Amino acid sequence: MKPKIFIDTNILLDYLLSRQPGANAATELLVAAQMGIVEALVSTQSILDAAYTARKSGLDFLTFKHAVSILKGALNFVAIDWIDLDWAMEHYTGDFEDDAQYASAYNSCCDYFITRDKKLLGQNSENSPLCVITAEDFVAQMK
C-alpha cells in the first residue's frame, strides 16, 4: 500500500519558489505523487497561503497558476473544516494554523505529515497519530 502523505505549506513554497535547501526534496515528493508512488494531500488553505507568500516573494500570478495547474493532477486537495478547527482549538500548541493543518492531515487518515517546521517536527513522538517528518527524510526513506 502506498503511503498517504500530507504536504505542509512550507514544502509547497520550497517547490514553487525554488527555496533551498528544501526545493530538491519538495520536487522529488511531488514527482513521486505524479508517478503514483505516494498519495499526496494538501489543504486548500495551503494553496491560498502559498499564493499570498509567492506573490510577496515576487512570483507572478500566471507562473503560480501554471504550477498549481500542474500539481492539480498529482495532489488531492482537502478543506480544513470545523472538525479540524475544533481539534486545533482543543490541542492548541501555540500555532493555530499548524494545529489545523495537522488535524486536517489526521482526519484525512494520512500516514505522514511532511514539513520543515521545527516546532511541528519537535512534537513527533511514539504517541503521535501521524509521523511528522521532513521532506528530505521522507525522500530518503522512499529510496
Cβ–Cβ under 8 Å, residues 29 and 139: yes
For residue 2, pLDDT over 70 is answered with: yes
Residue keyed to cell 498549481: 68
Domain 4-142 has CATH 3.40.50.1010: yes
pLDDT of residue 1: 83
What is residue 68's three-state secondary structure? helix
43 sits in which H/E element: strand 39-43
pLDDT of residue 77: 95
Domain boundaries along the sequence of the chain: 4-142
Taking only the tens place, the pLDDT of each residue in 82-132 is: 999 999 999 888 889 989 999 999 999 999 999 998 888 877 666 677 899
Beta bridge partners of residue 118, listed in sequence order: none
Cis peptide before 3 (omega within 30 of 0): no
**Contacts with 79 (C-beta within 8 Å, 6 or more apart), sequence order:** 43, 44, 45, 104
Q: Is the pTM of this model over 0.85?
A: yes
Taking only the tens place, the pLDDT of each residue in 48-92 is: 999 999 999 999 999 999 999 989 999 999 999 999 999 999 988
